[in-house]
């Protein structure tokens, strides 16, 4: 699944998942597990909804989020030793 942030007209963006990237010829986008960015359910959806068909005409743009496995395991830091040995 591809995690995305969907930006829509006249509403707050929300987080969802895509099975595949949508085809530009599609009229709507199939979004799974839609939720607010803080993880809570969308108030506009009925309880138990797990998949929505969202029309392209309402979508401004979609952000693709990085997969967790592609992020580094730890921080990479640069260390400079300014002390002079002597």
The domains of the chain are located at: 2-70
Region of poorest pLDDT, from 5-9, 22-26, 71-75: 71-75
Report the SS3 class of residue 6: strand
Q: What is the dihedral of CA 21, 25, 30, 31, to 10 degrees?
A: 50
| Topology annotation, domain 2-70 | SH3 type barrels. (2.30.30)
- Answer for the pair 4, 66: CB distance below 8 angstroms, yes or no: no
For residue 24, what pLDDT band results from cuts at 50, 70 and 90? confident
Q: How far apart are CA 44 and CA 79, in angstroms?
A: 50
Percentage of residues in the chain with pLDDT exceeding 90?
A: 70
The Cα–Cα gap between 74 and 32 comes to 30
């Amino acid at each position: 699944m591809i995690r995305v942030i969907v930006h829509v007209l006249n509403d707050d963006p929300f987080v969802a998942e895509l099975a595949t990237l949508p085809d530009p010829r599609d009229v709507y986008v199939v979004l799974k597990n839609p939720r607010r960015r803080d993880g809570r359910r969308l108030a506009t959806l009925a309880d138990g909804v797990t998949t929505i068909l969202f029309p392209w005409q309402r979508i401004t743009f979609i952000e693709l989020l990085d997969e967790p496995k592609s992020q580094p395991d730890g921080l990479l830091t640069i260390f400079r030793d300014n002390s002079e040995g002597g």
